[in-house]
Structure 1
Amino acid sequence: MVNIKTKFIFLYFIVLISIGSFGFHIIGGKGWGFIDSLYMTIITLSTVGFAEVHALTTFGKIWAILIIIFGVSGFALFISQLGENLMEFREKRRQRVQDILKKLRNHYIIFGYGRMGAIIADELAKKNTKYVIVENDDDKIIAIQEKGYQYYRGDATADETLDAVGVKYAKGIVVTLGTEQDNLFVTMSIRTLNKKTFLLSRCSHEDNKNKLKRAGADKVVNPYTAGGHKMTELLIEPNIEDAVSISTPQFDIDLLVEEIEINNVPSLIGVSIVDSNIRKKYNLIIIGIKDEKGKFQLNPDMNYKLGKDQVIMLIGAKSNIKSFQREYLKNK
């Protein structure tokens, strides 16, 4: 909505152009038509430096000087008002964001939009969950705006920021700030405000994991350790493709989720899940089946019969999956 000052500035220039054109017409006499006078006024105001329509008399030059003075003054007023409108727009947007955030309940909060924070935001967006990102870096905020994600510009270590994004009402919070010191401080501050929320924190050094847990984090993730563990698995077992590893360095769990095409296991075509003996012989569980039309069925019935062009999803120990592959799969 255009405010009164902006309307006044537009009216100011309309009046200035009108008076300026009329003045050139009067001073120039009959030789100055309406178009010539208007043209001279416009090029004088814009200071583009085009040639004069007609030679100016002394009074004409004085009139041009007056138009330039009033034009520059009006332009300065316009720039000032433009800056004021921009600040007002930003304040209204900030207030609108705060009003939205005040209504959020059972939402998720991401502190820090680094590489890990960006991935988490993408995943939450895919799941259509309510969440907000807290960031204070201009470049990262531009990246957030380009994706259309909800965000709050502020210092994550400030109490007013924690209040603004509704830490007290959040369902889950992840802290992925740039420094261990900030992660530790924010984790502790969040836990003080909300005892029940699930709090996930990132650490870069294993030595700080226990500190973050003592500060209130439910889980602490070291992306370098987790990533290194996954790369080691791929290095040692490069033939296990398209498998989702569930093994972790912290726990003695060595599970894989592997997709198997039934066409590669002809002996299973037309056989029910219970009669396939996959569970009994290999201690593997069929957790899902994708049929020939691409439709996925989770946790299929044990009497379900396997058919051509289907894909089964197995979960089990890596060693058991390898045993199954060695015995049944072709070209392995």
Structure 2
Amino acid sequence: MKISDANIRAILISTFLSIITAATILFKFIERESWLNSFYFVIVTLSTVGYGDVVAHTPSSKIIVIILIITGILAIAIGSQLIFDRIIKFQLNRTTLLPSNPLDYHDHVVIAGYGAKGRRIAEIFRDRFVQVIIVEKDIERAKLAEYSGFEILRADITKPGVLRILSLDRANAICLLLTNDSATIQTAILARSFSEDLRIYAEISSLPTYDIIKFAGVDRPISQVDFLANVIRSHLYHYGIQLLHSPKSLILQEASFGIIQVHDENDGEEFLKQAYPIGSFSSRLNEFYLTAGTSSTIYSNPTEDCEHVLYAMKQEALQDFDKSLRGMNPIPHDRIIFAGYGEYVNATLNRLEISENEEIIILYEDGDNVAHITDSRYELIPWNINTARDLLDEIIDDKDLVICSFQDITNSLYLAVNLRDLNRGTHFIQLVPYEYNIDAFVKVGAEVVLAPQLIIANAIISTYTQDNQIPPSLIFTNGHLFEHFVQDNDPIVGVQIKKLVDKKINIIYIIDPDTQEMVEPDMNYRIQFFDRVMIWVDHRPTDFVQA
């Protein structure tokens, strides 16, 4: 029969007290001391202090002293270990203890998983003043979430008891960013049972799960492969000037303005007179740099990495502007070269409107991956790093577009370095597994570097804003740009704009309620309920942010 921890502690304490009692009685009669002196001698001996004011004189007493000293040492060792174990157990379980009642939240968003993607999504929701609850079973990630200021529940979200206390019947949404599709499906089914109105967003790792998971109650399955393919496609057919969201979607999302990305200042020059400057944008780093002043100031002083400028244009002017853009031709490229073949490339090829004369080259690492490709328009070339330099010198031409997704990052870096050295005006897009890989590829010349964390964050936030009919977000590696309709419970209500800057919240424009013009705010102005503002939240560490 297994003895519980409580019974073990009771046995140890009883044994210890019995030794003290027996030793006190024996010392009383052997040494003929008072009860107080006898007890004092036992305690001093057990604690191994030994002041020397009371000593054993007889052989019998000395044997008792030896037993007491050994007992004292063991008691201190065992007691210290028990106390230490209790402290560690308390620390480990402090966030694991589930509340007895459901959490008292309304219109909150639950994020299951606080990895790189969960962290980014949680930041974006917090920027938009949405209450976020993080559920994470890993202790280190849970500590990181708590340190970052989020409400954290350290638990396994696949358990019904955990879902029960998250107040899902009052929640706005739940985002499932779990390690496998099976856990996602199981959790989605359980979450749906708590609320039919709950919006469930879930990342799925394989395309076949996409259709299946809808039957589990997931309103918005997000496939990294699928969404990334659409992002790549947008880079294949880009323009000198682009409207980042369609006028129709902006109307549905009740946005006051749309964001325009400008590469060539000669395109749309007349329309840009009606636009408001925001800042400079680097597509390579996916970074935005807020710039105050007139449009000419922004155009004349772009940073070295910023090849685009962002403008805001009011809703009324967007319709005509959008019509003018449709007559423009995309920036041309000669051929598309996929370096590496996998789900990303396959999904992208399925979404491309490939003409008969479009030439596509696939450089593959593993022949088994491309064995099923039979389309004669695709030229398949094996990649060998030992002969790669000669191969690239032979096949790369000016204006080729290279999209690299090699599984081996060494192959990707080698390709990037050689494309830079060949210097043939090749456009180069790199897919990387983690955000920390971005800088290395930017330094060797990649025009665009895409990481899954940012892709998934964009996908979920974009879908969330559409579902809730709120203006869209633009998510960058270094921050977040969006329009916000101030609510009475927002933490920025009544706060001076200059105080918000200290918190890395920049109010770029306030929309005048009478004229609907975008006005640069007075730094002493206090944000009011019902204000419409354009906000830039800087996500860089404080040391890198200039107020």
Unpaired stretches in structure 2, ≥5 consecutive residues: 1-39, 247-257, 280-289, 299-309, 332-547
Distance across 2 between alignment mates of 1:17 and 1:104: 57
| Residues 1:309 and 2:309 aligned together | no
Match for residue 74 of structure 2? 72
Q: 1:118 to 1:224 in 2, by over 3 A?
A: farther
Q: CA deviation at 1:170?
A: 0.9
Distance across 2 between alignment mates of 1:215 and 1:325: 41
1:210-239 Cα distance to aligned partner (Å, 9 max, x none): 2222322222211122123323433564x8
Which of the residues 70, 83, 86 maps onto 1:84?
Answer: 86
1:227-274 Cα distance to aligned partner (Å, 9 max, x none): 23323433564x869x78559xxxxxxxx9434499x56x96xxxxxx
Secondary structure of 1:102 counterpart = coil
Q: CA deviation at 1:107?
A: 0.7
Q: CA deviation at 1:195?
A: 1.0
Q: CA deviation at 1:163?
A: 0.5
1:50-102 Cα distance to aligned partner (Å, 9 max, x none): xxxxxxxxx9999677435303312311321332344456656545x737962
Contact 1:156/1:186 (<8 A) preserved: yes
| Residues 1:178 and 2:179 aligned together | yes
Tell me the amino acid that sits aligned with residue 234 of structure 1. Answer: H
Secondary structure of 1:106 counterpart = coil
Q: CA deviation at 1:198?
A: 1.8
Distance across 1 between alignment mates of 2:195 and 2:47: 66
Q: CA deviation at 1:325?
A: 11
Distance across 2 between alignment mates of 1:307 and 1:179: 48
Tell me the amino acid that sits aligned with residue 107 of structure 2. Answer: N
Contact 2:203/2:223 (<8 A) preserved: yes
Tell me the amino acid that sits aligned with residue 162 of structure 1. Answer: L
Q: CA deviation at 1:164?
A: 1.8
Q: 1:244 to 1:24 in 2, by over 3 A?
A: farther
| Residues 1:195 and 2:234 aligned together | no
What does 1:129-278 correspond to in 2, within 5 Å? 129-234=130-235, 237=238, 245-246=244-245, 257-260=259-262, 276-277=270-271
Contact 1:176/1:201 (<8 A) preserved: yes
Q: 1:195 to 1:260 in 2, by over 3 A?
A: same
Contact 2:96/2:155 (<8 A) preserved: no
Contact 2:135/2:157 (<8 A) preserved: yes
CA RMSD, Structure 1 to Structure 2 (Å): 4.8
Q: 1:258 to 1:68 in 2, by over 3 A?
A: farther
Tell me the amino acid that sits aligned with residue 155 of structure 1. Answer: D
Distance across 2 between alignment mates of 1:206 and 1:318: 35
Q: CA deviation at 1:294?
A: 4.8
Tell me the amino acid that sits aligned with residue 136 of structure 1. Answer: K
Secondary structure of 1:155 counterpart = coil
Aligned residues: 252
Q: 1:322 to 1:145 in 2, by over 3 A?
A: farther
Tell me the amino acid that sits aligned with residue 216 of structure 1. Answer: G
Tell me the amino acid that sits aligned with residue 325 of structure 2. Answer: N
Secondary structure of 1:202 counterpart = strand
Contact 2:240/2:330 (<8 A) preserved: no
Q: Structure 1-normalised TM-score?
A: 0.57
Q: Whose strand fraction is larger, Structure 1's or Structure 2's?
A: 2
Q: CA deviation at 1:125?
A: 3.0
Match for residue 127 of structure 2? 126
Distance across 1 between alignment mates of 2:228 and 2:330: 26
Task: Mark the structure with the bigger radius of gyration.
Answer: 1
Tell me the amino acid that sits aligned with residue 202 of structure 1. Answer: E
Quote the sequence identity (%).
15
Q: CA deviation at 1:171?
A: 0.9
1:178-234 Cα distance to aligned partner (Å, 9 max, x none): 111221222122122111122212222332222222322222211122123323433
